Amino acid sequence: MDDALIPEGAKRCAFPIFMIGIIIVGAVLLWGVYAMFLCWFKGLNQTNMNDYYGFALWIWADLAVIAVGGGAFFTGLLKYIFKVDDLKNIINFAVIIGFICYSSALLILAIDIGQPLRGWFIFWHANVHSMLTEVAFCLSCYFAVLTIEFIPNILENRQVNKVPFFHHLAHNMHGVMAVFAATGAFLSFFHQGSLGGVAGVMFGRPFAYREGLLIWPWTFFLFTWSAAAFGPCFTLLVTKITEMITGKKLVGDKTVNLLAKISGWMITTYIIAKIIDTIYWAFVTAPSMGFKLGHFYSNNGFYGYWILITEVILCGVVPGLLLINKSTRENPATRTIAIILGVIGVCLNRWVMVLQIMAVPVLSFDTWALYIPSWQEVATTILPVAYGIILIAVAYRYLPVFPQELELNESADTAAQN
């Protein structure tokens, strides 16, 4: 039914089967949209946010998708600026994932501000003393960059590319993509860092507060570093999931192992810096403010030392070591374990730096404030996941996302025909 739109030579499932999948995921998306409109029309009383939790599940999801979406800017930087040419086989998919992550982040913020019609206030009435103003500007600008980077792939659709204007436009955009990759890396450095800086400058929250360099707390640099380190893990994980669902090899092992190796070294160097920062905070910064380490990990039913050990050791040290070691990196099973742990690790870090900060008591008469999100918060957080699945499905079906697909699956397709 839609064969004319499918990339030439590519094999896709029957259109009715494709539509059944879209309808199932679309139902989840509509559930999220319903919850979103409840929040917009009835207000933020639909959530379980309160005076303790002005930042809650949405802001964690926002920071998490921005972190894992870092694979787009880092892969683009490697491909177009540092000329790591082998990454051409995965750069299209990295851009799509980044586009999904950043559009999802903006959608979550549109829900979180409560009155989206006043969303333009942050640009027109900018608070120049707030790191979040810089985040808003850089997020919006980088989303525009990702859109520009995504356009050539759309124009390469089998039918669209037959139009001479679109064909030449796509070709010319590829020629200047290095400019947008450099711009994206510049913008990403600052908004990733400022998201960490927001926590690091909170003097009234000793769990988050860090010293730093000039005006930037150490969390500024750690957030940027972690996004560049763990973002490629998410790109590889989504690629692996897509291969499992489609039953096809989409990216060659050489490219996968190269990106995994780079990610492994980035994770290892990041986690060393993270451990140094944690030790200094635990034994110097926090005690200077009158708090012992145990204060942040005891006397509550959820936040114990386990969360620190899981983030730093299990989901930091372990994936780093697995990915820098050639034998474990080139083993599909251990490589997959490593990238899953890495993605969990960076998401857990963002959880800690958003929600545990709010939970820790800071006054002598205060107690731990634990929080359970409402179903509306959960539904609107799942909404971007459903949207992302649909966009990836449509892009995979109709766009030449993976340059190696035909080559890698040629023998299997020939065997099936015989």
Listing DSSP states for 278-319 in one string gives HHHIIIIIHHHTT--GGGGSSSSSS--HHHHHIIIIIIIIHH
Query: Which tokens belong to 306?
Result: 């386990």
Residue 414 is assigned to a structural domain of this protein: no
Q: Tell whether the model's pLDDT for residue 362 goes beyond 80.
A: yes
Confidence grade of residue 330 (pLDDT, cut at 50, 70, 90): very high
Torsion angle, alpha carbons of 44, 359, 386, 181, to 10: 110
What percent of the chain clears pLDDT 90, i.e. is strictly above it?
A: 76
| Domain extent for 230 | 3-405
Rounded CA separation 103/113 (Å): 16
Q: Tell whether the model's pLDDT for residue 1 goes beyond 80.
A: no
Residue 168 is assigned to a structural domain of this protein: yes
Residue 415 is assigned to a structural domain of this protein: no
Q: Tell whether the model's pLDDT for residue 184 goes beyond 60.
A: yes
Q: Domain tally for the chain?
A: 1
pLDDT for the residue 210: 93
Residue 349 is assigned to a structural domain of this protein: yes
- Are the C-beta atoms of 47 and 377 separated by less than 8 Å? yes
Packed helices 91-112 and 375-398: angle between N→C axes, nearest 10 degrees: 150
Output the domain CATH number for residue 250. Answer: 1.20.1630.10
Return left, alpha or beta for 248; rule: phi > 0 is left, psi -120 to 50 is alpha, else beta.
beta
Mean pLDDT (the chain) is 92
Query: Which tokens belong to 374?
Result: 């409402």
Q: Tell whether the model's pLDDT for residue 164 goes beyond 80.
A: yes
pLDDT for the residue 360: 92
This prediction's pTM: 0.94
Query: Which tokens belong to 260?
Result: 């995994």
pLDDT for the residue 414: 55
- Are the C-beta atoms of 88 and 121 separated by less than 8 Å? no
pLDDT tens sequence across 295-314: 999 988 899 999 999 999 99
139: Cβ–Cβ under 8 A, 6 or more apart, which residues?
66, 102, 105, 106, 109, 191
Q: Tell whether the model's pLDDT for residue 385 goes beyond 80.
A: yes
Residue 232 is assigned to a structural domain of this protein: yes
Torsion angle, alpha carbons of 343, 347, 147, 34, to 10: 120
pLDDT for the residue 417: 55
CA triplet 407, 411, 413: central angle to 5 degrees?
A: 95
